[in-house]
Amino acid sequence: MKPLIIIANTPSPNTKILLNATANGARISGLEPIVLTPFEADASHILTAGALIIGTTENFAYMSGALKDFFERIYYPCLEETQGLSIALYIKAGNDGQGAKNSVERIVTGLRWNHVQEPLVLSGDFKPEFADACHELGAGMAEGLKMGIF
């Protein structure tokens, strides 16, 4: 089975909580996800992925600069080879998250990757429910990968 890869920007303790919750959710299904920062991830990771979870902060109504750097490095090497890749996105947003969501979705659409659910936008001050939602996201993606849905 190809791996579940989680690529997340974690500039704060709260975003690290979200990443850990996502990865722990995947582990409940017995999968050990590959967890990377956007700076660690490269095209070779995406070319081997069975499914992908992307986590970003909302910065200036856009995705994080780290995630943009990642997309710039992998876009052309992955363009023809990863069409149909199943992905999920979560955004920790100080505002409404729509700018970050739209910026990621434009690139994902160009890559022809498939969202398995609506992006999870976690807006405003940090709440414990945000980690619960990320945990469910990780568990759902892992289970879908194990069952061959993705």
Max alpha carbon distance in the chain (Å)?
Answer: 39
pLDDT tens per residue, range 114-146: 999 999 999 999 999 999 999 999 999 999 999
* pLDDT on residue 150: 87
How distant is the alpha carbon of residue 68 from its chain centre? 13
Cβ-based neighbours of 122, under 8 Å, separated by 6 or more: 18, 90, 91, 92, 93, 97, 130, 133, 134
Name the residue type at position 3: P
Q: pTM (2 decimals)?
A: 0.97
pLDDT classification of 6: cutoffs 50, 70, 90: very high
Would you say residue 29 has pLDDT above 90? no
